[in-house]
Amino acid sequence: MTPDVSETVSQFREEMDTTVTGVTLGVLAVFVAVRFAFPNAMTSQVIPQVRGTMLDAFGWLFLTLMVLFVLFALVVIVGPWGSIRLGGPEAEPSYSYPAYLAMFFSAGIAAGIVFWAPAEALFHYGSPPPFVDAAASSPGAASGALQTVFFHWGISAWSAYVAVGLPIAYYAYNEGAPLRVSTLLRPFLGSDTADHPVAKLVDVLAVFATIGGVATSVGFVGNQFLTGIEYQWDVATSNVDVFVIIAGLTVVFTVSVITGVKRGIRRIAGVNVVLFAVMALAVLLVGPTATIVTDGALAMGTYLLEFVTMSFGPLLGAGGGGWFDTWTLFYWVWWFSWAPFAGLFLASISRGRTLRTVTATGVLASALATVVWFAIISTTSLHLQTSGAADILGVVGEEGYAVAAFPMFEALPGGGLLVFLFFALIITWIVTSADTSTLTVAILGTKPGVAPETGSRIFWGVLQGAFGFGLIVVGGGNALQSAAVITGGPFGVIALIGVVGLIWTVYDTEAAGEGTPGVKSGDD
């Protein structure tokens, strides 16, 4: 090894948290070994059965938790504690607000927003949810389908991230705790939280959930990219092509995380958001503009009015238990599995912001951008299908949901340009979610209070890329996704404990006569 490489490896060994890294690698190694030894049993029986049992037994809990997180976010936004400033009254934000929003939005939603926007509404159109009183493939089903995607991708998902991120940020910047997921348990484990066995377990679960969630997304969207190339240009792709694409993406997001938040992650997030806005505006202008505006507004109103009914569907006797398990509950625990990584990243960039600004950005602004995107893309997909301008479902039936976007773009003016923009957007979404997740797992895999250096960032970046490649070539994506979701359920409970602890801490501070810490007149 050259001196530079040797020094990097030595530094990686010195800063590595052996417990978190070792246990995580051990679990992943066991997963891979069992996957090869018993591929069918693992993929189609054991892990899916565990996931199904968890959803059946604790579905009521996950539904309740998500509503509590939404209520918590609203209380922080409108309540007096929202004025608490992270880092103290004189702390200043490290990033401009546009950059702050762009980074968190790009990290939190990931490439799934590209994959599912043209596809999910079509699925609900053909098989309406139990709370939609309309026949399949009818105008009412189309409206209900749009309402459903708003529900699954809206304020609930983003509230789960804030429920994890806000306690971490408060304890890190106002009480000097380390930036780790386990820090949210500080009121219950004490000031030495990072070295507590329970804290180590929480950090291990966070790393595993992050790698599982992000690697699965890389696999899904990487598959969409390759399938789109095959469909669009009628060419066959091989494992070599898969390797080249995933390796290229891994190099890009690893370099991004090595260069840091300000020089790498911030700039790529900015490019991603600009492409995202250009794509949305282009489809709005060349697509069924009037229908997008009217149907989007109607679905938004229905979504807000029926939020409680949709949130507690099975508990309110709405029926459709199997549908809720497949869709809503799966989404909820999926967001819970992403919450450690998204919440920790939100905390890491929020110094100098008030709790109100962090929450409003993390929930309201991010959810609004997501809903607008779905309103434009999903409404266009539904309109083209229902009007007969494109047989998107016919193509999906032959090729799968990964290609839903391409026949949609073909039916629009300037479809060729839109396809290229779409491919570019797939790449930027993968990179922006992978670089931030790499940073967060590098933080968790490093000793408390030590910033991960180049070696750690390269190691975790390559590991995530390797898993993404393996999921496409070898398979096992559904099993790893289910395994990540299984860890998401406990994180919903951990997040609730963190929220209770934060409320207790702030209330106790005021009751002791110390005033509300970090309060500064005005907002960001």
Task: For residue range 9-26, list pLDDT tens digits in order.
Answer: 888 888 888 888 898 888
Average pLDDT over residues 343-363: 96
Q: 390 near 412, Cβ under 8 Å?
A: no
Instruction: Report the pLDDT value the prediction gives residue 447, as an integer from 0 to 100.
Output: 86
Q: 124 near 382, Cβ under 8 Å?
A: no
Residue with tokens 């975790």: 460
Instruction: Report the pLDDT value the prediction gives residue 214, as an integer from 0 to 100.
Output: 72
Average pLDDT over residues 162-190: 93
Q: Could you report the per-residue pLDDT of 112-154, keeping only the tens digit for each? A: 788 789 989 999 998 898 888 889 888 889 999 999 999 999 9
Distance CA 421, CA 285 (A): 15
- Which tokens sit at 451? 């910033």
Confidence of residue 1 (pLDDT cuts 50, 70, 90): very low
- Which tokens sit at 357? 């600004």
CA separation, residue 471 to residues 3, 314, 383 (Å): 35, 33, 34
Q: What is the pTM of this model?
A: 0.91
CATH class of 9-36+60-511: mainly alpha
Average pLDDT over residues 370-374: 96
Q: 246 near 218, Cβ under 8 Å?
A: yes
The domain limits of the chain are 9-36+60-511
Instruction: Report the pLDDT value the prediction gives residue 334, as an integer from 0 to 100.
Output: 86
Say what percent of the chain tops pLDDT 70: 88
Average pLDDT over residues 31-53: 71
